[in-house]
Amino acid sequence: MSRQSKKRHILPGFHPSLGWTVIWLTLIVLLPLAALIGKTASGGWEHFWVTVTDPQVVATYRVSFGISLIAALINGFFGFLAAWIFARYEFPGRRLLEAATDLPFALPTAVAGIALTALYSPNEWLGKYLEPLGIRIAFTPAGVLVAMIFIGFPFVVRSIQPVISELSADVEEAAACLGANRWQTLRHVVLPPLLPALLTGIIMAYGRAVGEYGSIVFISGNIPFKTEITPLMIVSKLEQHDNIGAAAIGFTMLLASLVIVLIGNKLQAWGNRFRKSA
């Protein structure tokens, strides 16, 4: 053991583990992504700019990034509620529900897409009750929203639940002793430590919904300017034999995702610091 490498290299296996990690990462992630960047660059700045600022493509950003945000916030609300009752309440079927939370995560995307379409089309299961009310879900942004809520839900629950379980009762009891009612206790004592985890969960649900393809394309109807999602634009460009355009849009999505990932990780780190001090 070399003394001069300070504390960080006390345990063995640094070089093999890091080396193997970097090799695998390069082969599977970095090299292909470099190809994406290379392909984009090969088309030149002009082509890139024209492709990613095309009004129809820009409309998809609104859908992919905008509706995902709404879905993520809705998931934040219901996910929080779900995590709360899983961690704090006892009722029949709790364990079943807890297990069911991960269903969207484990269910194949194509299956989810077909099922959602079969559910919400105007003449189907739910759709036929909603249609007379003037509510149409399939082939509208509402349908896209529903699909995005479906796939992002588990992320929020899984982010907050451990944190809620770890809350200690002492602080709440102390607050009650000092005269706070339940609502005040919740607002000022319980919720603040949960906020970072909640934010992390929301951002993760957001990132997932942005990139999703399979579950959304069936129910969205792919109406230009209304319900087209950005991944669909990529596929569309590929089918028009415009590989460079596809790469350009892919690259833009990648940049946006990278920003989301970095923010997500920063939030997680902040949340962890908060947790340790509790």
The interface with another protein within residues 227-256 (CB under 8 A) comprises 227, 230-232, 234-236, 238-241, 243, 246-247, 250, 253-254
Say how many residues touch another protein, by CB under 8 A.
127
- Looking up tokens 């995702």 gives 257
> Please, what is the minimum distance in Å from the beta carbon of residue 237 to another protein?
9
CA separation for the pair 147, 150 (Å, rounded): 5
* CB 203, CB 34: distance < 8 Å: no
Cα-flanking dihedrals φ and ψ of residue 22, to 5°? -65, -40
Site for another protein in 36-55 (CB under 8 A): 36, 38-39, 54-55
Give the one residue of 116, 199, 248, 267 binding another protein; rule: CB under 8 A: 116
Closest CB to another protein among residues 45, 179? 179
* 85-104: contacts with another protein (CB under 8 A): 85, 87-91, 95, 97-104
Does position 29 interact with another protein (CB under 8 A)? The reply is: yes
Question: Rule CB under 8 A: is residue 106 a binding residue for another protein?
Answer: yes
The correct pick among 46, 123, 133, 134 for binding another protein (CB under 8 A) is 123
Decide if residue 188 touches another protein (CB under 8 A).
no
Of 10 and 191, the one with the shorter C-beta distance to another protein is 10
Question: Does residue 118 bind another protein (CB under 8 A)?
Answer: yes
